[in-house]
Amino acid sequence: MSKPRVFSGVQPTGNIHLGNYLGALKQFVELQNTADCIYCIVDMHAITVPQDPEELKSHILDVAALYMAVGLDPEKSILFVQSEVSGHAELSWILTCNSYTGELSRMTQFKAKNKGQESAPAGLFTYPILMAADILLYDTNIVPVGNDQKQHIELCRDIALRINHKYGEDTLVVPEGQYMKEGARIMALDDPTNKMSKSAENEMSRISLLDEPAKIKKAIMRATTDSDAVIKYDPENKPGISNLLTIYGALSDTPIEEIEKKFDGAGYGDLKKELVTVVTESLEPIRERFNSIRYSSELTDILKDGAAKANAIAEPILERVQSRFGLGL
């Protein structure tokens, strides 16, 4: 049997943080040995909100270097930039014509970002269709993503099933999402009721993979907790402490119950201090590798080679879909 095909993507908007790492990238690395993996830097998704062109270019290379710094190996996985493979935009249009405005307006991420304004860019509305095209363009079986993308994956499946029903069951491969148990959703340190995000204004709300030890310490020591002084995993009533336990457990590969036992009777300060060490020690080798890759000439060669490989897979799949629809000659 051939290996399953895996596809996932990260937006090049700001530095990758612990949520991205634990919710998505860690799985990307693990899947490399058992699946046929394609990992994309989704720059066309990034322009759904205005971007400074120079910054965007530099963030694309940052994410590429971080992909490699966390352990993605271009010998094993295809690493490339979305806009280098034109099939994403082409398939996206075909899917757009088979999506409903009703289902798009139910996307919680859209509702949160557009805030009911008529002037929201249409790309923000159709963004989940482009994401579906990314996935379907490669006959993907598995999509490793954070929990926050569940609704988008379900939409992708709905669109694929709808098209298959109309144009033949083997038109598109229907993918499955794969969500990490621990770390599926890492919350903001300053407000554990919101997810950790690249775009939150408060720098102390997140830990980016490239943060210096002093910043890591400050953010963790200031993290919002509660006043009942018991170290127990209870996301509903103790979201702050639960988030710290999740991060601790995921980075040190320790079950949460074991951490609870270890800190039985200890204060929040003790947990935080140890967490600073765990996070700093986990991120240090990533930062070192990033620095050696980011400005090497090899980086763009790897991405160009990845785009050529991705394109070779995408082209026949796009042609198959176009022919089912009767497009072209």
**Annotated catalytic residue, options 76, 150, 198, 232:** 198
For the bound state, the minimum distance from the C-beta of residue 291 to ligand TRP, rounded and expressed in Å, comes to 25
User: Helix, strand, or coil here: 189?
Assistant: coil
| CB of 43 closer than 8 Å to CB of 204 | no
Nearer to ligand TRP, 48 or 242 (CB): 48
Q: Is 103 exposed, middle or buried (0-12, 13-18, 19+ CB in 10 A)?
A: middle
| Binding residues for ligand TRP (CB under 6 A) | 7-9, 11, 42, 45, 131, 134-135, 143, 145, 149, 152
DSSP 195: B
Residue 203, token pair as written in the block: 């720098």
The residue among 135, 170, 180 whose CA lies nearest residue 154 is 135
**Annotated catalytic residue, options 26, 195, 217, 238:** 195
Instruction: Give the chain's length.
Output: 329
| Catalytic (active site) residue 195 | yes
What, of ligand AMP, ligand TRP, none, does residue 306 touch, CB below 5 to 8 Å by kind? none
188 vs 19: CA distance, rounded Å: 9
What, of ligand TRP, ligand AMP, none, does residue 185 touch, CB below 5 to 8 Å by kind? ligand AMP
**Per DSSP, what are the bridge partners of residue 38?**
7, 78
Inter-residue long-range contacts of 308-314, CB under 8 Å, 24+ positions, other chains counted: 309/78, 309/80, 310/38, 310/40, 310/78, 310/80, 310/84, 310/85, 310/138, 311/84, 311/85, 311/87, 313/38, 313/78, 313/138, 313/139, 314/85, 314/87, 314/88, 314/137, 314/138
Nearer to ligand AMP, 164 or 178 (CB): 178
Which of 149, 171, 225, 246: binder of ligand AMP (CB under 6 A)? 149
Which of 5, 6, 7, 24: binder of ligand AMP (CB under 6 A)? 24
Under the binding rule (CB under 6 A), the answer on residue 145 touching ligand AMP is: yes
The site string for ligand AMP over 262-281 (x = CB under 6 A, - otherwise) reads: --------------------
For the bound state, the minimum distance from the C-beta of residue 264 to ligand AMP, rounded and expressed in Å, comes to 27
| CB of 224 closer than 8 Å to CB of 192 | yes
What, of ligand TRP, ligand AMP, none, does residue 195 touch, CB below 5 to 8 Å by kind? ligand AMP
Other CB atoms within 10 A of residue 213 CB: 15
Nearer to ligand AMP, 198 or 324 (CB): 198
Q: Find the binding residues for ligand AMP in span 163-192 (CB under 6 A).
A: 185-186
What, of ligand AMP, ligand TRP, none, does residue 135 touch, CB below 5 to 8 Å by kind? ligand TRP
- Residues lying near ligand AMP in the complex (CB under 6 A): 10-11, 19-20, 23-24, 145-146, 148-149, 185-186, 195-196, 198
Active site residues: 113, 195, 198
